[in-house]
Structure 1
Amino acid sequence: MNHGATLLHLRGAAGMAAIYRKISWRLLPLLMLCGVIAHIDHVNVDHARRHIQDSLGFGDHVFAWGAGVFFIAYALFAVPCNLLLEKIGARKMLLRMMLGWGAATAAGALVRTPLEFYTIRFLLGMCEAGFLPGVILYLTYWYPAARRARVFAVFASATLVGGIVAGPLSDALRQALHLHSGMQGWQWLLLAQGLPAALLGIAAYFYLDDHPDDAKWLSGFEQQMVAQDLHRDEAALAGTDDDEDDEDEPPSALAVIWSLLRDPAICLLALATLLLTGASFALAHWAPALLRHWGAGGLLAAIPGVVGIAGMIAIGHDSDRRRERRGHFIACMVLAAGGLGLAIAADDGLAWSLAGLALATLGIASALPLLAAILTALLNRRRAAAGIALVGGVGMLGGAFGPALGARLLAWGDSAAMLAALIGLYLAAGLILMLALRMAPRRGGPDARDGLRDKMARS
């Protein structure tokens, strides 16, 4: 390549980067705010747990069943919600979901019996089920595979932000509104935290666009360049430069789901996601108790989350820059395992235990966006909606068993035994991902993977 051609290439790369920065500044702030609210709304009962128990007399088993019901509903409705989003568009679906889960959150203030509590948690899980898979699918409409790890990481950082602010915000609201108009503080907490979801759903409907072609804030040239990037991805997955399958009759939703269930690579990715999220929910559930045991309170308790946010964005950026996924994911699992190992070796010493938890959080937080980038690079347009939701829904089942697994391990031994088991789960997730990528076919048929898979997933 001569000097003139090199300069033209660099200008073209800089121009495309500017287009995607423009898209990111338009889409990501609102989607991240929605993500923060989604996290707060499904953990707020945990922060008000003691006060709900004092008011209603619920035992620990009621909250355990309530958590399980939420995640089961999430898993059951993830695929239908994502298929509906694909059909009616992200704007309409986000509006419906966020109005629904805002109403379910607020209705939690009215529960009086365990059955009512379970019903509300099920409805909340049903309404939230399409949010995370839906946003991942939505972002694939705007970003090619080579640019997704950083974008997914930036969006996923909203969950860590929600984890940092949920406790202080919930406590402040509950204390400020306690016994106002004769209602308990926890009731006001649920009522107040249901409103932002509804308002953000309305904002998303009017502010977002379903596809780049609908975006009036992009020029015609910018829309064309994004479309070309996305078409190259689809052509690579189809094993051809032309999307010849467009002329065929689209398969039914059941046919697509059945094809995913028969795909060993997708099933193994779902298993890796289940192990990863199960271990992560267990760690997140018991981390506050561990931090208190180590003597880490106040701002110290926020260190792992802050490190995780910074690290996941940096690792996502590096993964996109190097056009590599598998090695980054394995490195994240090693970081997670090594960080927890350091926490075990610290023997309850504050500094090293906190450092170990921060390293583990960095690895765990960075792994999920990479896994999403790998998954979306292996799915063609027809299978993306169902495939993303299927893998994500199976992964969310980890929220049902993860905390219970941690409790069982703590009952058998001490925190070191629980952390050692989580190390095993993280390493197993890394090994399963490697096996999944080896089983993903390279070529042949509408679901073939060629150089895109090698460059973006296996390197």
Structure 2
Amino acid sequence: MSAAYRKITLRIVPLILICYFFGYLDRVNVGFAKLEMVNDLQLSEAAYGFGAGLFFIGYLLLQVPAGYLVQRLGVRWCLAGSMISWGIVSVATLATHDPISFYAFRFLLGVTEASFFPAVIAYFSVWFPSFRLSKVMSLLFLALPLGVILGGPLSGWIIDATHGGYGLKGWQWMFLLEGVPAVLLGLYLVKAVVERIEDATWLTETEKSAVRLELAAESKDKQTSLWPALREPTLWILFVTSFLYNIGNYGLVFWMPSMIKALGGLTNFQIGLVTAVPYLVAAGAMLANSFHSVKTGERLWHTALPVLIGGVALLAGVMTRGMPVLAVVCLAVGVAGIQCTLAMFWSLPSRILAGTAAAGGAGLVNIGAASAGFIGPAVLGLLNQVTGSTTAGLSLLAIALFAAGALIFAIPKHLMARHVATTFEPR
């Protein structure tokens, strides 16, 4: 059985990881565009925060309907169509010329990306039982730190190196060069995505049968229809938890380049390199935490403790003004805590949902994240503008992380068990 899942993982996860990397890059590169764009467009701090967050308004509007899109169109077309359309919108963002067009492009980017993550959850649910998903999700969510580790220096370098080429600003070149790969990958997905176990020519018949039996046994006690699933209290606990920890997550993502710039004396490329440090730490911590959880069978503390540590680190960061090295260390611990919880958390919805409900339920929980993605950057921008510093904003992010950690303890214990109770015992 392990050999079969190794084959499935190698076939499916790396491609989706690459796609998610470019999705995350196209989502957050606006933080680097801000280094130059706000002056060109005469954007205030509050206007930038509002525009950055508008992505999530478009994103959240289609989260639950995305479950039905996956059902009607299939995983292949939802994944490919989402990538192609968001790549086009990302490229078109180079035409931004005033605050209104900035708001419009950010909103449209959210709309076009909305069906991708629910489709990924539905896709993985075809191939992996939920008890295997925490490790798979930790591999997928490497796209988030990699989006900053690789994308940060890349975005900074593009802005510095291309400024003025063919009459375009550096930030315009960044949107162009980082949007095109999404379109190309989307076209490739049309051919590459295999939606049924029966069509997997790279599995033997014995392996196919074993995977089907394991998935069927685990699905017996899950909700497979969306509307009954929406009456499941646990789903709403996951929704609120997702909202709270993503206040901290997206608040840092969209403002960290500006926080690093405030340390003084760095080029855009150097800002990208320094910004990558916390996410490099986070990538290692996320894998170590997830793999250790799988090894020990313990989930509760592996999910709750990291985000609580992240909150402590952000509060410590408030007290390190004027100490750049300590400030970056605190940011690194904060980001690591958030990312560790993120990978563990997203294995939970598939423990209670299957079929259409898996995509729709994941969409609902993702609405919590999307709402936080709008509120976090917008509030942080307003607080920065009103107070003239990041102290109040970082304190708010820390409080949200503490609340998320506390709420994780309200998740039913059976979801945190090594395996959800079913009629089979995994090999």
Q: Which residue of 1 aligns with 2:208?
A: 223
**What SS is found at the alignment partner of 1:287?**
helix
**What SS is found at the alignment partner of 2:194?**
coil
Tell me which amino acid in the other structure corresponds to 2:378.
Answer: A
Q: Which residue of 1 aligns with 2:100?
A: 115
Q: Which residue of 2 aligns with 1:244?
A: none
**What SS is found at the alignment partner of 2:62?**
helix
| CA deviation string 1:79-119 (max 9, x = no partner) | 22232123322221111111111111111223334333332
Over 3 Å counting, the alpha-carbon distance change for 1:409 and 1:300 in structure 2 is same
**What SS is found at the alignment partner of 1:331?**
helix
Tell me which amino acid in the other structure corresponds to 2:157.
Answer: A
Q: Equivalent pairs: percent with the same residue?
A: 30
Q: Which residue of 2 aligns with 1:288?
A: 257
| CA deviation string 1:176-225 (max 9, x = no partner) | 43333333333333222221111001112212211322211111111111
Q: Which residue of 1 aligns with 2:337?
A: 363
Tell me which amino acid in the other structure corresponds to 1:281.
Answer: Y
Q: Which residue of 2 aligns with 1:12?
A: none
C-alpha distance in 1, partners of 2:247/2:327?
22
Task: Give the C-alpha shift of residue 72 in structure 1.
Answer: 0.5
Q: Which residue of 1 aligns with 2:359?
A: 385
Contact kept in structure 1, 2:49 and 2:379, CA below 8 Å: no
Q: Which has the higher contact order (CA 8 A, sep 6+)?
A: 2
Matched, 1:33 2:33: no
Q: Which residue of 1 aligns with 2:280?
A: 306
Q: TM-score, normalised by structure 1?
A: 0.82
Matched, 1:430 2:399: no
Contact kept in structure 2, 1:296 and 1:350, CA below 8 Å: no
Contact kept in structure 1, 2:66 and 2:359, CA below 8 Å: no
C-alpha distance in 1, partners of 2:84/2:252?
30
372-381 or 403-412: which moved more? Answer: 403-412
Contact kept in structure 2, 1:77 and 1:130, CA below 8 Å: yes
Task: Give the C-alpha shift of residue 24 in structure 1.
Answer: 1.4
Q: Which residue of 1 aligns with 2:394?
A: 419
**What SS is found at the alignment partner of 2:201?**
coil
191-200 or 418-427: which moved more? Answer: 418-427
C-alpha distance in 2, partners of 1:193/1:367?
28
Contact kept in structure 1, 2:303 and 2:345, CA below 8 Å: yes
C-alpha distance in 2, partners of 1:163/1:78?
25
| CA deviation string 1:270-319 (max 9, x = no partner) | 01100110121112333334445557974554321111001111211122
Matched, 1:403 2:372: no
Q: TM-score, normalised by structure 2?
A: 0.87
| CA deviation string 1:26-85 (max 9, x = no partner) | 112211111111122122333223543444444445433322321101000122223212
C-alpha distance in 1, partners of 2:103/2:345?
31
Tell me which amino acid in the other structure corresponds to 1:150.
Answer: K
**What SS is found at the alignment partner of 1:125?**
helix
Contact kept in structure 2, 1:339 and 1:357, CA below 8 Å: yes
Over 3 Å counting, the alpha-carbon distance change for 1:68 and 1:170 in structure 2 is same
C-alpha distance in 1, partners of 2:130/2:357?
15
285-294 or 200-209: which moved more? Answer: 285-294
347-356 or 358-367: which moved more? Answer: 347-356
Tell me which amino acid in the other structure corresponds to 1:437.
Answer: P
**What SS is found at the alignment partner of 2:220?**
helix
Task: Give the C-alpha shift of residue 345 in structure 1.
Answer: 5.4
Rg larger for: 1
C-alpha distance in 2, partners of 1:55/1:352?
32
C-alpha distance in 1, partners of 2:381/2:41?
24
Q: 2:87 aligns with which of 81, 90, 102?
A: 102
5+ residue gaps, structure 2, are none
Aligned length: 417
